[in-house]
Amino acid sequence: MRLGTPLLTVILFLAVIVVFAIMRNFFPAALAIPLPGSDIRPVLLLEFASNPQHLVHIFGEAGDPLRAARIAGMNTGNAIDYLLMPAYGLLTFSFFRGVAQEISGKVWQLFGWMGFAAALADAAENWLMFRMVADMADPLGEMALLPFPVWVKFGLLAISCGGAAWAFARMRRWLLVLLCLPAPVLLVPAMFDPFGIAPLATTTIGLGWLAMGIHAATRWLQTNKV
């Protein structure tokens, strides 16, 4: 199987689902101390953290008996995330390579490479978060750098979803268009409201991946006449 074939794209989509499900089980389920006006998940608050108090909201005060377990869970989840990165990078690339076989144009390859670039930004993001958690007494240096890889990652993934919506519109697969549109539409509002809109906006990237998986699966079924 080569990248771009429907079956491999489906396999990569399933790999994303499996790794994400495993990873999610390790992350803390709720903030130790609620963030007023937000229901943001702990891992997202860590990604958007801009001051040391955010770490207290995530992990709890120094004397919190669950603090060590929350830190261990976060670190384990972020370590597993290094498996998710190549999975979604390859999924995005394989999907758009397949699109390029249906619709002529070099732009599809560009969208495909965005998945790999997002994965590299994600790796840099996690490295910064590991350093923040390891030294919560002085995380400001990492926090100053963190927004760059975070928004490069989310931005490229949202734009790739927009590219998928464009491709599906060319194919007249309108339901798949609707699955892909929320991520690019919500990207800019999320950047201005990281604790409000961003939790929803980042989740919609998964809808774009779902659309990619559905498209590849139906193409595979059509090819094999199942």
Residue 17 C-alpha from the chain's centroid: 12
Provide CB contacts within 8 A for 126, sequence distance 6+.
78, 81, 82
pLDDT bucket at 226, cuts 50 / 70 / 90: low
> Cα separation of 195 and 162, whole Å?
23
User: In this structure, is residue 15 part of a structural domain?
Assistant: yes
User: In this structure, is residue 45 part of a structural domain?
Assistant: yes
HEC per residue, the chain: CCCCCHHHHHHHHHHHHHHHHHHHHHCCCCCCCCCCCCCCCHHHHHHHCCCHHHHHHHHCCCCCCCHHHHHHHHHHHHHHHHHHHHHHHHHHHHHHHHHHHHCCCCHHHHHHHHHHHHHHHHHHHHHHHHHHHHCCCCCHHHHHHCHHHHHHHHHHHHHHHHHHHHHHHHHCCHHHHHHHCHHHHHHHHHHHCCCCCHHHHHHCHHHHHHHHHHHHHHHHHHHHCC
pLDDT bucket at 106, cuts 50 / 70 / 90: confident
Q: Residues 123-166: pLDDT tens digits?
A: 999 999 999 999 998 999 999 999 999 999 999 999 999 999 99
Residue with tokens 């070099």: 106
* The total number of structural domains that make up the chain: 1
224: which 2 tokens?
């094999």
Mean predicted lDDT score pLDDT of the chain? 95
User: In this structure, is residue 143 part of a structural domain?
Assistant: yes
User: In this structure, is residue 210 part of a structural domain?
Assistant: yes
| Mean pLDDT, range 16-27, rounded to an integer | 96
pLDDT, residue 104, reads 87
> Cα separation of 152 and 163, whole Å?
16
Ramachandran class of 78: left when φ > 0, alpha when ψ lies in -120 to 50, beta otherwise:
alpha
User: In this structure, is residue 184 part of a structural domain?
Assistant: yes
Is 179's pLDDT higher than 60? yes
| Helix axes of 205-224 and 182-192: crossing angle, nearest 10 degrees | 170
Contact 38, 196 (CB under 8 A): yes
pLDDT, residue 83, reads 97
73: which 2 tokens?
């869970």
User: In this structure, is residue 154 part of a structural domain?
Assistant: yes
User: In this structure, is residue 1 part of a structural domain?
Assistant: no
| Mean pLDDT, range 164-169, rounded to an integer | 97
Which range marks the domain in which residue 30 is found? 6-224
